[in-house]
Each structure stands twice: as C-alpha cells, then as structure tokens.
Chains A and B, each alone.
Chain A
Amino acid sequence: MKSSDQKPNQGDSRRDFLKKSSVITAIALTPGVAVKAAESNADERFAELFEKIPLKLTVNNKAYQTTVEPRVTLLDYLREELHLTGTKKGCDHGQCGACTVHVDGQRINSCLSLAVMNEGKKITTIEGLADGNTLHPMQASFVKHDGFQCGYCTPGQIMSAVACVREGHANSRDEISEYMSGNICRCGAYPNIVDAIIEVKEGGQTI
C-alpha cells in the first residue's frame, strides 16, 4: 500500500474528540469544518491550534519565539527544530551526558528537559561557546590534549567541563574525575579530558 493510495483518515481518537469538543466552537469552528480539515491532512494546523504551546527562549544569545509540542525535549528541539546539532543524543535517558547544555549557567542533560520547561531561559550550547573564530579555552585545551576520539560525546564533555570549573569542582584529578563522571566517553579519552580541564583550571582564566 503506497501512501498516496491511502484512504483519508477516519475516526481516530483525536478527531473523535474534536467532533465532540466544545473547544471547537469556542474558536468558532464547527465540528464539521474541523473534521474536514483533518481529512485533508491538516495535521499541522491542528497541532498549531490545539497541541503546540508558545515558547520564548534564548539560545546562544539569539532570541527565539515559537510554538512547540509539549512532548518535545529540549534536546530534540535544539537538534531537529533549530538544527543546532552540536548537542548530541546518546541515550535520551539522562544516563550519558552527551546532550549536556547550560541553562541559565547550569549544566543539565537536555534530553531530560522538555523544551516548554525552558520558557524565558538562557541556553548555551557548544555552538555558543567559542568567541567568533577564537576557541573557548576549554575547546582549545581539548584539542591540545586530544580529549576525544570519535568526537560524539565531546560537546557534552566540554559543556560539562566548563561548568565543572565554574562550579569550583576542578581542584584535583580525583575531584574532576568525580564531577565529570556523568559524561560517558566510550572511546576512553578520560585521562586526556582530565588533563584538558586541569590545564584550563590552572591557567586561571575566567571562563
């Protein structure tokens, strides 16, 4: 069965709801009109009207005003909507740290945050860390110490590393290892990651 051969959709539960719902009349659409719209594949309009929620947030100093389904995670919003794919999906369960971003200066797993929970918040991703063509000291230090191999966990490691130093949790190798253990690196670059963080910490720059 090809999609073009499909009969118009009928009777799914959402549209049953729409038929009966007083919400429809409240926005001056008759049930008949609503169902007709659904049948002509207007899922997007329905989503806009009934499912999406307005959202304002700032990502890498750029303001966004949009609407988003409440079930969309911040991670998927960044990757699929804003095409900021530097933030990675490694597990989608908050177990690997590949999706680490800063929200109002704090590191979080963006897969465990819904986009709509970030109303009015200021988000920084790996793409927002460098100053134009000048690498952030942590990025430069990761390159110098080869703090990665495949590079997939790297944006999360770097975002976490910057936060680790800012939090004051980078005072010894052991402390860094402990506070960086939420970021898994399967290639096993851990000793180099610690070296990179130590250099930035000891450099004493404000980061």
Chain B
Amino acid sequence: MEKRMLKDDNDRVDGILKVTGQAKYFAEYELPGLTYGVLVTSTITKGRITALNTKDAEKAPGVIAVISHLNKPSATAYEQEGGPQMKIFYTDRIFYNGQPIAIVVANTFERATYAASLVKATYAKEEFNTDFEKALKDPKAKKLQGQADYKRGEENAYKNAEVKLEERYFLPIETHNPMELHGIIADWRPNNQLTVYAKTQGVKATQGTIANVFKIPMENIQVNSEFVGGGFGMALRTWPLEIATVMASKHIGKPVKVVITRMKMFTMVGNRPAAIQTIGLGANKDGKLTGITHRAYGETSTYENFTEGVVNMAKFMYQCDNVNTSYAIVPVDLGVPIWMRGPGEATGAFALESAIDEMAHALGMDPLDFRIKNDPETDQQKNKPFSSKNIKEAYKIGAEKIGWNNRKNEPGSLVEGPWQTGYGVSVGVFNANRGKASVKGTLKADGSLLLQSATSDIGPGTGTGMTLIANRLMKIPVNKITFELGDSSLPPAPSQGGSATLSTVGSAVNDVCVALKSAIAELAANSNMDATANFVDVLKKNNLPQIEITKESQGGKEKDNYSMYSFSIHFVQVKVHSLTGVVKVSKIVSVGDSGTIVSPKTARSQMLGGAVGGIGMALTEESIIDHRYGRYINNNFADYHVPVNADVPEIDVNFINKPDPYINPMGAKGMGEIALIGFSAAVANAVFNATGKRIRTLPITPDKILA
C-alpha cells in the first residue's frame, strides 16, 4: 500500500504506512545474527565503582558478552585525554543515579534482561545533592553564568514604578517521554564499516558524533532513521547508551539492539531542567510598562553544562525602555538535561506571561488590553523592525472565538454549582530560523519527482510539507512526488530542532525545483520546443531518462535587517472544581502567526500537539526525585501524568497565514515550538480568573488549588 491511495493532497504522505503498521522504526529492522543489549545502571548517585562482578551474568544462558569499564571496548576518542567527563565505560566515576555502568549482550531480549540482573556492583559512595532548590540556597554550591547579562536602560527600573510587582515562579523537571522508547541498532562490520538504525532528530549529527568517538571516517558510517516515534528534543544528541551499543557491536562483531525501558527514559535521555525565576514588572497607572527584570536559574548536571533561552522573551516581547535579564545554571547530581519542546522559552514564558497577567490585574486592566497597549512596533533588543508580526490581529481572532467578552475581570465571578469558570490568554514566541541544507532533485521521464535530503521527521510531517512545496512549484501531482529523508548518505541537512526544518529544508526544495524548471526550459529551448512544454515531453525528446540537480540553500542578509520570530496566542477556558481542586481545560483557541501555512493539515496537528503538551506542562507533568536517594520515584506513565484523551477538549486552531516577506521563498516560519510556548501561563491565568488563586509553581495540581 502506497501513498497513491491517499484521497487528499494534504494527507500525510506516510499516512498509509503509519496506519497499517508498515512504517518501520529503528528497533524493527531485521538483521542476521541480531543480538540484544540491556544496560545495567548505577544504584548510587555519586561515587566510584569499586568492584563489578560480571561472572554470573557471563555464565547465564545465551550471554555473549558483558562490557563495562573493566574491559574498556575500543573507542579511540575516549582513550585520549580531554573530551567529555562522563565517558561511558571509560570511567569508574558515578555522576548520577541510573548512569549506565555495563551492557549485557545476549541472543534474546529475555536472556539479556535476566543476565543484566546478575551484574553486581559495589561502590564507594560520596555525598551528593539532587535538590535544585537546596543547591540554589547553598552559598557554597556552584552557580555558573548561563547567558550574558542583558541591560537596556535602567537596571531594576520596576522598583521605582508607580505600580510594581516582583514574583517568583517554579518549574519542575519534565521528561519528554515520546511514545517510542529510545535505543539503537548498531552493526559494526569488518574494516570499520558501521550501520546504525537510530532514533534521532539528525542523522548527520548522529553520524558525526559516532565518527568523532570511534575516530573513523564519516563515510564509513551509515545512519538510518526513516521513522522516529517522537522526540520533542530528546533525540537531538547521541547519548552514552548509543555509544555503548556501538562499542558492544564492535566488540562482539555482531549487530546489537538496545531498546531502553520507560523507566530509563527518565535518566538516560535528558529532561527539561527545573527552573526558578523571578520577574519584576513596573508600569505607570495608565498601563504602560516601565521596567522588566527577568532573573532565572536553571538546573544542569555536574559533568556537563546545559543552557537554554529562558530569559530571551523578556528582551523584546513588550515595549519597554528598561529591561534587564540574567540567567545562571546550577549543577546538581542528575543526568544532563536536553532541550524539550519550546525549550527555555517555554520555561521563561510561563513566568513572564503569568507576571504580565498579574500586572494587568494589579492595574485593574483586561490582560488582553494590557498586552495590546504594550505591544512593540519594532524589536527594541535588536533595534530592527520585525520581518512580520500580526499579533494584534491574532488577539482579535482568538478573543472572538473563545468568547472573551464572557470573561469577567473580577476573579471568581463565573460560578455554576461547584464549578468556577475562568479565561486566560498568553503569548508564545520563538526565533524564526533558516539554516543551511542541501536537497537533490531527480526529475524523471515517467513524470515523477524524487527529492532527497538527510533531514528527519519526528512527527510534524516533514515529507508532507516538502512534497506540497514541490507540488505547487512544479505542478506535479502529489502522488508523483517522493521525498526521502532519515538517511545519512543523502545530501546534508541540519537536525530537526528549533522549528527550522520547513524553513531550512523547504527553501532547498524550493531552490532545487526552481533550478529543475530552468534546466527543463533550457532543454526545451535547445530542442526547439515551446518554453512551456511539459517536462516529460522535453526529457523524452532529448532521450533523457531523468535530470538531477543538487542545491545547497541558505538565507542571506535578511537576518541582519529584520528581527524574525514566529508568534502564537493561546486562549483557554478552564473549569475549576471548588471542592476537589480539579482543573479541566474546557476550551482552547490557538492562533498561529507563523507566515504562510504550507501544509494546513499537519500544521493544525502541530498546534493541537502543542496545546496538549501545554496542558501537561500546566496541570500534570513533574518528574519527582526522592532527594535522599537521588532517584526518580514516578518514572513511569502511571505516575508521571501526560495528558490522555479525556484531558483534552476540542481545540480551535487558527492561522494568520500571511507570508513573511523576508525569511524564505515560501514566506513560512516554524511552528513546533510556538505551539507550546506560553500555553502553561494561559492555563495559570485562567485558573486565577476562575478562582482568584495565583499558582506560580507548576504543575497546577488540586492540592495547590485547595491550599
């Protein structure tokens, strides 16, 4: 069954494969002689391994090898000085609880799992701290600058304002938890030839990382990752467990598959780090902002620093002459974090967009009016005009659709039995990027077009978007266009992250299509054909089975001249139960202002997904650690609550759908991040409007409502 069965051009090009079970994810490739690896993890949080007994595991049925720092399998970069501190199997040091310390390889999954339980480690324990708030309070604990301090106008101007507020906001650790478990299949063959089937947001990045660790040429490594079962940022790097699997395959000379457990998804593949933020806002009585101060602390690990854009939004989102920000990171004894959807901006937007709502309330203003009043015409941080920004129109559309006029400015005004109703709004914003990518286009005499690029699709619908771009330019039917991705041997493209794939790879698709069209026109002219002749006729007349063009594409000076962002507005209606403290999000209206919408169906789905992720961030998600032991205690789906179907109301998605004249040929800006950024604040603001209770610590659980 192929995509030609699709009934609608806007359907996902890989939809049939996904609904029939034919879409193959990394763990589903059959390799002759495939073996199974299971990771053994540390049971202490900090210290050293003093002994590791692998004998029982080695003797267990079906076991092929047990690999650890004791037998240090060859990994050239790890044998050298420098590099990362946490070199897997090249150190006896334990940096966090759940760190992989050995891999057991056997000929079945069950045997490997059992044998892994037989590996026994003894440790020399050291004092540790996994408690971020404790580290923050401890004057002896390290605080590292995460981003250069920013100042425009007067520092802390809010303190002298007519109306001022200063509040503190807390975001706990969240865990990405894509539905597909992480892992890899590594197949190291003679002469240092390696094939991996990976779960990655960037096949070129995975190829580069492995080449770097094992010091073999990039071209010796083939990375395949056609279907990825969600990533949300966690597959933006090659994790130690993946290096361990490659080591194991090299060591035993057979393909090794590792699929980690859901519990290990909390400790081995990163998290959204906890953050504590203070926002100071000052305004005059007329409702003009006169000072914004945003200070943030984010969590990081002791063995590697991690930073993200927590305080970015405060610098440009509102018209204000006095703005200062600072951002520091605080190491604790946990695994290193990684960007999670909307990365730091989602963290920052929760604080800033809550504070904006609080200020509107302090001024007695409608928060929508307050936002509109302080909406900037130009970017004061970069001192440049915005390339495109239709925020006011977006506010208007959203307000109308949610029924904002039903909202009462006085909190707790809408009561029906035990249920209190409230409305909230917030803004999301994220850099609109365009990077560099190459695409190869092959136009064939059978009327088809093949496009190839080493980009990824973790779910947004990369192939669908690219196909639609080509379809519109080339006037070739969608069912005659194939877009290939997820293969490191294809022309290079960056990793799928930072909402840049459509802009970056789409531009290269655009450029290659334009080049193919002019090549056909030239061929037509040279063979005395009409300039508008069909490419099939032109190719046939010239006895050409096909023509191929590869184009590298990247942006130019437009970034120097314009400030480029995607925007989103989230309106929510909540119902809060006054006796149980339950919060139900009962209505959602999202408005995306992200330039041209190339692929309407998948774009809408992206916005739905952001809202659903936002419900989780706002109401349920929190990775909880028992700081006595440094271990996660809710590391499964029964205890770490992601939204389920019954948590999600109907979502009304709207797009401004006006091209950005500068960013790229399509006029399209990214959407993956803005779909989520700010959403949690809209919920918190709605909860305040419903109840009069301002919750500044996520998630907004019933205990906090009732407290």
A residues contacting B by CB (< 8 A) are: 1-3, 6, 9-12, 14, 43, 46-47, 69, 71-72, 76, 79-80, 83-93, 95-96, 98, 125-127, 129-130, 133, 135, 139-140, 142-144, 146, 148-155, 158, 173-174, 176-178, 180-194
Contact = CB atoms under 8 A, between A and B. Distances in A.
Task: Give the residue among B180, B252, B460, B610 with the most A Cβ atoms within 10 A.
Answer: B180
20 contacts: A2-B251, A9-B59, A88-B25, A88-B229, A91-B262, A91-B636, A96-B179, A126-B20, A133-B1, A142-B15, A143-B11, A148-B19, A149-B460, A151-B459, A154-B18, A186-B230, A188-B608, A188-B612, A190-B644, A192-B605
In the A-B complex, the 10 residue pairs with the closest CB atoms: A86-B21, A188-B612, A152-B229, A151-B18, A150-B459, A149-B459, A188-B609, A95-B637, A126-B21, A85-B28
Nearest to B651: A191
B20 A130 contact: yes
Interface string B221-254: 0000001111110000000000000000001100
Given A12-B60, A86-B20, A88-B180, A177 B648 contact: yes
Nearest to B228: A150
Interface string B445-473: 00000000000001111000000000000
A90 B180 contact: yes
Interface stretch (B2-10, B190-198, B425-433): B2-10
B18 A181 contact: no
B179 A139 contact: no
Given A184-B637, A191-B649, A194-B645, 15 more contacts: A88-B229, A91-B637, A96-B262, A126-B20, A135-B16, A135-B20, A139-B19, A143-B6, A146-B15, A146-B602, A148-B12, A149-B605, A184-B642, A186-B230, A187-B612
B21 A135 contact: no
Contacts of B22: 86, 127
Contacts of A1: 65, 71
A149 B459 CA distance: 5
- Contact residues of A: prevailing secondary structure: loop
B645 A183 contact: yes
B119 to A, nearest CB: 14
B81 interface: no
B416 interface: no
A149 B609 contact: yes
Contacts of A3: 64-65, 251-252
B229 A83 contact: no
Given A149-B460, A188-B611, A144 B638 contact: no
Contacts of A10: 59
A187 B459 contact: yes
Contacts of A84: 21
A133 B22 CA distance: 13
B177 interface: yes
Tell me which of A9, A90, A133, A135 has the highest count of chain B C-beta atoms within 10 A of its own C-beta. Answer: A90
A11 B7 CA distance: 63
Given A9-B58, A79-B28, A192 B608 contact: yes
B643 interface: yes
A152 B609 contact: no
B650 A191 contact: yes
Nearest to B111: A43
B19 A142 contact: yes
A149 B606 CA distance: 8
Given A90-B181, A188-B610, A189-B605, A76 B109 contact: yes
B13 to A, nearest CB: 11
B285 interface: no
Residue of A43, A96, A152, A176 most packed against chain B (CB within 10 A): A152
B110 A181 contact: no
B127 interface: no
B531 interface: no
A162 B450 CA distance: 36
B61 A89 contact: no
B560 interface: no
Contact of B648 (A11, A12, A69, A191): A191
B14 A151 contact: yes
Contacts of B458: 150
B27 to A, nearest CB: 8
Contacts of A182: 644
A178 B259 CA distance: 30
Nearest to A79: B28
A98 to B, nearest CB: 6
Contacts of B637: 91, 93, 95-96, 184
B633 interface: no
B179 A47 contact: no
Contacts of A190: 608, 612, 643-645, 648
Interface string B581-607: 000000000000000000001101110
B267 to A, nearest CB: 15
